[in-house]
Amino acid sequence: MRPIAVPSKSVLRSLVLVILAWAGLSCIGNAQQVTVQIYSGAPVTVSAADIAAMPHQKLPLDAHGKSVNFEGVPLRLVLEKAGMAFDNSMHNKRLTSYLLVDAADGYRVIFAMPELDQGFTDRVILLADRADGHPLDNKEGPLRIVVPGEKRMARWVRQVSGLKVVQAQ
């Protein structure tokens, strides 16, 4: 019977590094887009390139005691790109709808739809892709929700992966 050849430690380390790098690149690739679903309609994929091409706004905000200049697209515009209409029809059903935001790590938050409608508020909630003139790093982005005026940053979602408009029951 022949002995089984066992790879050296350096070969095993190299193999582990290759697997980890591949897994990391897969995660980054998936995070370069956001899936948007309006009610029970078909999901629409909006890429980071789509978002980069949309009109951006800059918001100087305080993030954990540090002044940061976020740049991004009003969240409302991303929803409009996927087919959501924000107009004078924002009543009844729409007033009891909400936006469910999903993050890559499973974190989830909601926004009432009127929070995103210019007919109800002057506040602009951003889907940010830049901070202080640079793309968001892997920990924060590539896409992040920033909400001006909130005392706690609990709804400032990092690594946004999905947006879904849902009708409350």
Mean pLDDT for 106-124 is 94
Place of tokens 């430690």: 9
Q: Could you give the percent of the chain with pLDDT greater than 70?
A: 79
Q: Which residue did the predictor score with more confidence, 155 or 40?
A: 155
Q: Which residue did the predictor score with more confidence, 154 or 90?
A: 154
pTM comes to 0.78
Phi-psi region of 160 (alpha: psi -120 to 50; beta: other; left: phi over 0): beta
Q: Does the pLDDT of residue 136 top 60, yes or no?
A: yes
Considering the chain, what is the average pLDDT of its residues? 83
What's the topology of domain 33-167?
Sulfite Oxidase; Chain A, domain 2 (3.90.420)
Q: For 36-100, give the DSSP string.
A: EEETTSPPEEEEHHHHHHSPPEEEEEEETTEEEEEEEEEHHHHHHHTT---STT-SGGGGGEEEE
Residues contacting residue 139 through CB under 8 Å, at least 6 positions apart: 158
What pLDDT score was predicted for residue 102? 97
Annotated domain spans of the chain: 33-167
**Most confident of the following: 5-14, 29-38, 98-107:** 98-107
What pLDDT score was predicted for residue 63? 84
